[in-house]
Amino acid sequence: MTRYCLTIEYDGSNFVGWQRQTSGPSVQESLESAIEAFTGEPSTTIAAGRTDAGVHASGQVVHADIARVAEPRMVLLALNHHLKPLPIVVRNAWPVGPNFHARFSAKRRHYRYRILNRSAPAALERGRVWWVPEPLDLEAMRQAAVCLIGHHDFTSFRAAGCQANSPLRTLDRLAVTAQGEEIYLDLAAQSFLHNQVRIVTGSLKWIGNGRWPPERMHEILEARDRTQAGPTAPPHGLCLTAVDYNDS
């Protein structure tokens, strides 16, 4: 039995999310089936980020105990073979010590939210971006974003069903950048509350389109009240891009 760390990429559109559920196909179930097809043994996988239905990942990190001796390169090829034709791939696979835990050892999670800001809907990037046709004021969004960086009580940016013990989180990064017709929101923190990135995004959109002034963001944060924040942005604009560990 060797513990492996796997970096995986998936198109979350047609999954109920990372986590195994009875309501439909999950990424976790698909990956565990591929591991079982390779090793002949059932396997339980643990992911750094339990992405919601429709959320994508380019750099999700997972650990799994693999009950078959093989070169790491063979593990990668075999799992990708068994994952076909699903839109889930293993980008990297390497053996780690038995104490490595994809979720608890993670030092920082990186998410990118993509907004397509133009009159025309998305054709090529459909399902990967949130289409916002009204003009967004990037400077106002940047101004508003600053107050969220640091250690705060993020109760206002937390889904009703969030199961975290504490609403306190440290947001290390919240960058607002433009790339052609797209706006990227890049966030990093050791951990996030449920829907935190999407509620921050929905609030920044209402500031960007002028519905609220930039100063409103600080009031929302202080209010510690979910009803004061903006809407939860749709899942398909969100992607878990990377997870940092001590030695990476």
- 11 near a second copy, rule: CB under 8 A: yes
Which of residues 124 and 160 has its CB atom nearest to a second copy in the complex? 124
- 9 near a second copy, rule: CB under 8 A: yes
- 77 near a second copy, rule: CB under 8 A: yes
Residue from 46, 67, 70, 89 in contact with a second copy (CB under 8 A): 89
Considering just the CA atoms, what is the radius of gyration of the chain in Å? 19
Size of the site for a second copy (CB under 8 A): 26
Considering only residues 184-203, where is the footprint of a second copy by CB under 8 A?
Answer: none
Residue from 239, 240, 242, 243 in contact with a second copy (CB under 8 A): 239
Is residue 244 part of the annotated active site? The answer reads: no
Minimum Å distance from CB 131 to a second copy? 10
**C-alpha closest to that of 105 among 48, 66, 164, 64:** 48
b or e along 6-19 (b: 16 or more beta carbons within 10 Å of the residue's beta carbon)?
bbbbbbbeebbbbe
Minimum Å distance from CB 209 to a second copy? 18
Other CB atoms closer than 10 Å to residue 102's CB: what's the count? Answer: 22
Which of residues 9 and 172 has its CB atom nearest to a second copy in the complex? 9
- 119 near a second copy, rule: CB under 8 A: yes
**C-alpha closest to that of 56 among 27, 80, 33:** 27
Inter-helix orientation angle 216-223/196-208, to 10°: 150
* Widest pairwise Cα distance in the chain: 59
Which residues belong to the active site?
A: 52
